[in-house]
Amino acid sequence: MMIQHDLHSHSLASDGTLSPADLVRAAGDAGVNVLALTDHDTTDGLEEAVRQAGPAGLRLIPGVEISVSWESLTIHILGLNIDPHCEVLQAGLSGLRTFRDWRATEIGRRLERAGIPGAYAGACELSRGRIVSRTHFAQYLVASGHARSVAQVFKRFLVHGKPGYVAGQWARLEDALGWIAAAGGLPVIAHPARYPMTGSKLRRLVGEFRELGGVGMEVVSGCHSRDDINAMAGCARSMGLLASRGSDYHGPENPWVQLGQLAELPVGCRPVWESEDWPVNQRSS
């Protein structure tokens, strides 16, 4: 039997819309056998997700998606199969959440100056006391009639050069990899085709990542086109990285990324779940 791996997903602990238990149930129902929960800069959803995995009939890989600043860009690095009790990891994530909290107040101030009051309070309410993401600002601006869609809010307000943009001051790449290593996890570059960079810059990132102990990159992602998948498969192969596969599911409201619908890894990729460091009983035959 083919094992269906989905190694990138979000819950209410960050900017997803399902509780960890509901996410795990939905993944199981969609035919996913191995699911990684990888919330942004927090591991708070993992305990609930692990508890639900048995009843849902799937294997839960504890993960995290770490926000990294690299050469003035924001990059996301997944830590797969981490020990969430690792103090080094938790200290690092806690620092990122401190920046996140400050950034949220700053986004709110800037939107207020641009004529949109109440966005900070609105985003905090939508985040339900957990991490505040730009996604929550986008949801609030849609709900309050300032834009038609979350995608439109990002384009008009939350990206570089727009009124609510605040530059990221996230982890350094070497620090993120150090925290993941301390927690016994496998570092994987998330959605590499989505970063605004040339092929040669991407190869520089991948090379640096590898030198620092990085092992994998997502080849199949919910946001990769067929061309992206082929390009990333070629990049992973030539740079000597393992290939990962993850939906980046955030909830049923984003119908373009669903659970259990991902393409297979292209032939010739070496999957991250065949790594020596992958939990042994999860290797597919």
List interacting residues with ligand AMP (CB under 6 A): 15, 40, 67, 133-135, 150-151, 154, 250
Least distance from C-beta 236 to ligand AMP, angstroms?
22
Residue located via tokens 């508890």: 51
Parallel/antiparallel/unpaired status of strands 59-70 and 73-80: antiparallel
49 binds, among Mn ion, ligand AMP, none (CB under 5 to 8 A by kind): none
* Residue 127 C-beta: closest distance to Mn ion, Å: 12
Residue 267 CB, shortest distance to ligand AMP, in Å, is 30
11 binds, among Mn ion, ligand AMP, none (CB under 5 to 8 A by kind): none
What is the rounded distance in angstroms from the CA atom of residue 285 to the CA atom of residue 280?
A: 11
Residue number with CB closer to ligand AMP (140 or 154):
154
Q: Which is nearer to Mn ion, 78 or 119 (CB)?
A: 78
**What is the DSSP code string of 249-280?**
B--TT-TTS-TT-PPPPPTT--BGGGSTTS-G
User: In whole angstroms, how close is the CB of 279 to ligand AMP at the nearest point?
Assistant: 26
**DSSP H/E element including 247:** none
Distances (CA, A) of 177 to 186, 241, 253, 279: 9, 15, 32, 19
Q: In terms of CB distance, is 26 or 56 closer to ligand AMP?
A: 26
Residue nearer to ligand AMP on the CB measure, 99 or 237: 99
Closest-CA residue to 169 (of 69, 75, 42): 69
The strand pairing partners of 35, in sequence order, are 6, 60
> Which of ligand AMP, Mn ion, none sits in contact with 134, Cβ below 5 to 8 A by type?
ligand AMP
Give the binding site for Mn ion (CB under 5 A).
15, 65, 76, 190, 248
Indicate the burial class of 6 (C-beta count within 10 angstroms; 0-12, 13-18, 19 or more). Answer: buried
Which of Mn ion, ligand AMP, none lies near 22, with the C-beta cut-off 5 to 8 A by kind? none
Shortest Å, Cβ 280 to ligand AMP: 31
Which position's Cβ is nearest Mn ion?
A: 76
For residue 77, the minimal CB distance to Mn ion (Å) is: 9
Nearer to ligand AMP, 166 or 239 (CB): 166
Those residues with Cβ within 8 angstroms of residue 143's Cβ, 6 or more apart along the chain or in another chain: 122
> What SS3 string covers 35-90?
EEECCECCCCCHHHHHHHHHHHCCEEEEEEEEEEEECCEEEEEEEECCCCCCHHHH
Nearer to ligand AMP, 59 or 250 (CB): 250
